Amino acid sequence: MAIPFTQYLRPDGRRVSVTVDRSPEVEAKARVVIDAGLRFECEVLSDRRTVSLTVADPVAEKDVAIEVVPNGPEVPEAVDRLVESAYRLVTMRAKAEEG
């Protein structure tokens, strides 16, 4: 499973679906995040050299994780960090609901 992102394109914010291939372990954590109702989003910022990667909570209408990195070879590792951050949030929420 590749990780699905909604990419917002400049200048009008038009949405397109893109995917990012990561390791099976990262992709499995991303699936947990998606199954919790969160979504992955990305956009190239106005300087055209920086990428914003976020995990959005549509219910709370806010981002719950974010990575901002130069567009290039740092993006895949930033995706891994983004997924890990969101995964920790989802698992903490699940534990809080249990206890």
Tokens, residue 43:
């956009």
Average pLDDT, the chain: 96
Q: Give residue 99's pLDDT band: very low, low, confident or very high (50, 70, 90).
A: confident
Question: Could you list the residue range(s) of the whole structural domain that residue 37 is in?
Answer: 3-98
| Residues 65 and 85: beta-carbon distance below 8 Å | yes
As a whole number, mean pLDDT of residues 65-87 equals: 98
Looking at the structure of the chain, the number of domains it has is 1
When computed from its CA atoms, the radius of gyration of the chain, rounded to whole angstroms, is 14
Q: How far apart are CA 13 and CA 30, in angstroms?
A: 24
Spell out the alpha helix ranges (H) of the chain: 24-35, 75-98
**Of 57, 9, 67, nearest to 34 (Cα)?**
57
